[in-house]
Amino acid sequence: MTRYNFISFIFISILFLGLASCKDKKKSEDKAQETEILPEDIVEMRADQAKLANIETGTVEMRSLNGTLKTNGVVAVMPQNLATVCAPMGGFVKSTSQITGNAVRKGQTLAILQNQEFIDIQQNYLDAKSKLEFAEAEYRRYSELYKNDVYSQKSVQQVISNYKSLKAQVIALGQKLKLIGINPSRLRAENIRSSIALVSPINGYIKTVNVNIGKYVSPTDVLFEVVNSNKLFLELTLFEKDAEKVAIGQKIHFFADDITNQLNAVVYQTSKSINADKTYKIYANVTGVCHKVLPGMYVNATIETTSHNVTALPSDAVVSFDDKDYIFVFNRNKEENGKPFTEYRIVEVQKGITDDGYTEVTLPAGFDIKNTRIVVKGAYTLLSAKKNAGEMSC
């Protein structure tokens, strides 16, 4: 091969390699152009995919929503509707026929107690009463004779002192008799008894029974607890941030332990301070008669909060992911490789109350409420496309 031919061969080879390199570069550029890199907050979908997913758009609305607030607490009873029955002077239980759950009336006998002291008090009362009658007669006689200077002032004062002392003694013993359920005005020597009846102070149901026949009970022992379940209330606990959402008169729906029927209550009082653990107490009267609901039962409750106008969307428009709430808004229509596509932008929002299929949303600052089209149907399909990074796009 001559020197000229060799140079020509090298020149042609270089030219061929250059052309091949340019062609490969052009292919790489074309391929890079075909693979579009979407921003992090954008998801795209072909027109036929959007139609299949039934994606629809709408706008933000101003709606009056009745919100609900979920909470829990316990069933309680007013102090005047819960009675603890004790033995005022103690004694042995002679008889009882009551068991837990029995309905009782005010004044109904719960148990019979025996004690020697009951006899002593009655005897002492009758003795003191008899002496008082004599002392009263003496007091009147001495007072009349003192006017005629028959008795000295000292003698009269002694009679008066004795009379007043016996009178106080009779009154005190009479109060003791009333305390154990004996009427002093009806007490006679013929009807002195060794036993007394413990009676229910209110109408209601027996909650607790702590007695049995032959047991000795002291004045500090709780023998029975009686509760009037017709006047129950709820003690519910809220977080501090929800305190302003609750007001007197709001309705509450609740479920108690082992009771499947929904029960109702009405808020009658709210706490005036926040507890140390940043909780807030509210109180609600249970409406209607609930025989199976008893004090101490745990309840799950829903409070109907006050209605007010808020920015709202259909509940299907708001999706949740990683403990955050989002909506999708229309971004633009475009065309790739001759196929129509639509881009949607994901926007984080704050979700509020939900009522009648609509949810309150707090939108970012500067959000164009009037002109922005929001995906109100098919939002979860777009969320799946976003999470699967391209499986739903081209």
Could you tell me the CA-to-CA distances from 73 to 42, 70, 265, 277, 295 in Å, in that order?
A: 45, 11, 13, 15, 11
Q: Where is pLDDT greater, at 235 or 272?
A: 235
Give the mean model confidence (pLDDT) for residues 92-102. 92
Q: Which has the higher per-residue pLDDT, 24 or 361?
A: 361
Classified by CATH at the fold level, domain 84-226 comes out as OB fold (Dihydrolipoamide Acetyltransferase, E2P) (2.40.50)
> What is the predicted pLDDT for the residue at 31?
47
The residue among 242 and 55 whose pLDDT is bigger is: 55
CB neighbours of 123 closer than 8 A, spacing ≥ 6? Answer: 192
The predicted structure's pLDDT at residue 217: 94
Give the pLDDT confidence of 100-158 residue by residue, as tens digits: 889 999 999 999 999 999 999 999 999 999 998 888 888 777 666 655 555 566 677 78
pLDDT computed for residue 223 by the predictor: 95
**CB atoms < 10 A from the CB of 152, how many?**
10
For 36-66+309-387, give the CATH class: mainly beta
Domain with CATH 2.40.50.100 in the chain: 84-226
Please answer whether residues 303 and 265 qualify as being in contact, where contact means their C-beta atoms are separated by less than 8 angstroms: no
pLDDT of 393 reads 41
Residue 44: its pLDDT value, please? 86
**All CATH 2.40.420.20 domain ranges in the chain, comma separated:** 36-66+309-387
Does residue 257 have a pLDDT over 70? Answer: yes
Q: What is the mean pLDDT of residues 7-16?
A: 52
The count of other CB atoms within 10 Å of the CB of residue 139 is 20
pLDDT higher than 70, residue 306: no
pLDDT digits (tens, 9 = 90+) for 335-375: 888 888 888 999 999 888 777 788 888 899 888 888 899 99
pLDDT tops 80 at residue 246: yes
Is the model's pLDDT at 245 over the cut of 90?
no
Comparison of pLDDT for 66 and 284, the residue scoring more: 284
> Which CATH number does the domain 69-79+227-305 belong to among 3.40.630.30, 1.10.40.30, 2.40.30.170, 3.10.180.10?
2.40.30.170
187-242 tens-digit pLDDT: 998 999 999 999 999 998 898 999 999 999 999 999 999 988 778 899 999 888 78
pLDDT of residue 229: 79
Query: How large a percentage of the chain has pLDDT more than 90?
Result: 31
Looking at residue 91, what is its pLDDT?
Answer: 92
- pLDDT given at position 5: 52
Q: Which residue has the higher pLDDT, 155 or 243?
A: 243
pTM of the entire structure? 0.56
Confidence of residue 260 (pLDDT cuts 50, 70, 90): confident
Q: What is the mean pLDDT of the chain?
A: 82
> Quick one: pLDDT band at residue 69, thresholds 50, 70, 90?
confident
Give CATH 2.40.30.170 domain extents, the chain: 69-79+227-305
pLDDT for position 392: 39
Q: Is-contact 269 248, C-beta < 8 A?
A: yes
Residue 264 has pLDDT above 80, yes or no: yes
> 385 pLDDT band (50/70/90 cuts)?
confident
